[in-house]
Amino acid sequence: MSQSNLSARGIFTSKFGIIAAATGSAIGLGNIWRFPYVLGESGGGAFLLVYLLFIIGIGLPVMLSEFIIGRATRMNPFGAFRKLAPGRPWFIVGIMGTIAAFMILAFYGAVGGWTLEYLYKSVTNQFAGKSADEMVQMFESFRGASYRPLLWQIAFMLLTFLIVIAGIEKGIEKYSKILMPILFITLIVIAVRSLTLPSLSDKASPMAGLKFLFRPDFSKLNANVLFDALGQSFFSLSIGMGALITYGSYIKKSDNMGSTALIVSLSDTFAAVLAGVAIFPAVFAFGLNPQAGEGLVFNVLPSIFNSMQGGYVISILFFICLTVAALTSAISLLEVVVATFSEELGMSRRKASVISTLLITLLGAVAALSWYVFKDFSVKNINDVTGEISAFNFFMILDYISLKYLLPLGGLLIVIYLGWFSPRDKVLKELSNEGKLKVNYFKVLMFLVRFVVPIAIIIVFLNEVGVF
């Protein structure tokens, strides 16, 4: 690709640029909102253990594979595979990734909207004087009995759109360099308060929450827990759909992609575990149910703020940072769709941004109203392991298909391509910046990419459909 073409697509000008952008994509609602509630539903510590194993053994190699493919081709996921394997069907990874980005951003926008509502509630001091049970009520009546989720979802999508259209992603990353550390600090403050809450009893104590989070109860380990952990690890790291192929395509040839991937995965995992430490001690201390589902953190956090000195200010600070974290993830999702529409369908970036935002917002409107207007639109899901029957509304269906199927399958295809269909010396050359960097982990990486990752993903799938 010619130099002019390259600079037209833009490039990350410093190592910190790509780390900030990729971390911005990775850290978001996935860590703070989704990780705790999925862990809660899956029974705690055993989930955490599997999750951590998946991050190291599967997530990290997939992330690095995406960076390698992105930087080698300087293309969107779709174009990347067409360039690497012309005339062969690998571009399907790009199609799946675009569909996944579409579906994820639809429900992500809804949760981004919940975050804005809670920022508004913080500013207008609506948590004051409410009991833990009243907080649960408050969330349910917001989500299940008003159009507010829709208004806020539209607002969130509009913000995402404006950032992408103005081409100020880099500007946002500058802010997020300041706001991410503040998010971590507020999380630590919240965790400290959560851990020091008074106990009602042995079972209703912060300690019980910590045990729930960190002590694996292997009797809880089943096919569904593995499946949940796999989907969550892909979602949290932003992998499996080409978002990081797209970001990889903007990485400088002199950057060390290996250390970048490591730093991004570590910070993302740290954020998730920290969110767990902030949430679960309080869930138990307030006698709430860890299996509350999507509402969990919105139910719990306000009560923690209520019980702390300066809670008013901290809640505002926290929800501002969370909104920004959500936005830096949302722009990377939108970017996949926009890059694909503009580079593959020959639209201008502006037109591609307008069209994709409109379509996603429309789909997201149904997601946002899934507990209200569209609450009867649901499918029954029977848990193969426990036999439990649950109803999946539209929001949950989007989440289920994209996270549990599209992302892991995308990741599977990406590593199979890199491990089995790309010349090994070319991969090494790309990873080592033409031999300038020492990549002593190369053999391990290739072993993971060729064998461990594909086999692990296939086992988790077969296990889920009940083959074993």
Nearer to ligand PHE, 191 or 403 (CB): 403
Nearer to ligand PHE, 97 or 206 (CB): 97
Q: How far is the CB of 98 from ligand PHE (least distance, A)?
A: 12
Q: How far apart are CA 464 and CA 375, in angstroms?
A: 27
Nearer to ligand PHE, 243 or 314 (CB): 243
Nearer to ligand PHE, 227 or 284 (CB): 227
Q: How far apart are CA 100 and CA 112, in angstroms?
A: 17
Q: How far is the CB of 15 from ligand PHE (least distance, A)?
A: 21
Nearer to ligand PHE, 19 or 288 (CB): 19
Query: Tokens standing for 411?
Result: 């990741």
Q: How far is the CB of 329 from ligand PHE (least distance, A)?
A: 4
Q: How far is the CB of 226 from ligand PHE (least distance, A)?
A: 20
Q: How far apart are CA 117 and CA 391, in angstroms?
A: 26
Q: How far apart are CA 146 and CA 88, in angstroms?
A: 49
Output the residue with the shortest Cβ distance to ligand PHE.
30
Q: How far apart are CA 326 and CA 271, in angstroms?
A: 13
Q: How far is the CB of 194 from ligand PHE (least distance, A)?
A: 21
Query: Tokens standing for 204?
Result: 């209703």
Q: How far apart are CA 290 and CA 371, in angstroms?
A: 20
Q: How many CB atoms lie within 10 A of CB 97?
A: 29
The CB-side HSE value for 17 (13 A sphere, CA atoms) comes to 15
Does residue 261 contact residue 64 with C-beta atoms inside 8 Å? yes
Of residues 468, 61, 125, the one with CA closest to residue 265: 61
Nearer to ligand PHE, 136 or 241 (CB): 241
Nearer to ligand PHE, 232 or 303 (CB): 232
Of residues 232, 199, 288, 240, the one with CA closest to residue 47: 232
Q: How far is the CB of 272 from ligand PHE (least distance, A)?
A: 8
Q: How far lies 72's CA from each of 26, 34, 192, 313, in Å?
A: 22, 33, 44, 46
Element (H, E) at 391: strand 389-393
Q: How far is the CB of 36 from ligand PHE (least distance, A)?
A: 12
In Å, the largest CA–CA distance within the chain is: 68
Nearer to ligand PHE, 25 or 73 (CB): 25
Q: How far apart are CA 448 and CA 429, in angstroms?
A: 18
Q: How far is the CB of 333 from ligand PHE (least distance, A)?
A: 5
Does residue 248 contact residue 71 with C-beta atoms inside 8 Å? yes
Nearer to ligand PHE, 246 or 361 (CB): 246
- Contacting residues toward ligand PHE, per CB under 6 A: 25-26, 28-31, 104, 235-236, 238, 241, 243, 329, 332-333
Q: How far is the CB of 241 from ligand PHE (least distance, A)?
A: 6
Of residues 327, 359, 326, the one with CA closest to residue 340: 359
Q: How far is the CB of 104 from ligand PHE (least distance, A)?
A: 6
Q: How far is the CB of 444 from ligand PHE (least distance, A)?
A: 25
Q: How far apart are CA 270 and CA 434, in angstroms?
A: 32
Q: How far apart are CA 328 and CA 332, in angstroms?
A: 7
Nearer to ligand PHE, 28 or 109 (CB): 28
Q: How far apart are CA 316 and CA 39, in angstroms?
A: 26
Burial (CB < 10 A; 0-12, 13-18, 19+), residue 345, is: exposed
Nearer to ligand PHE, 50 or 245 (CB): 245
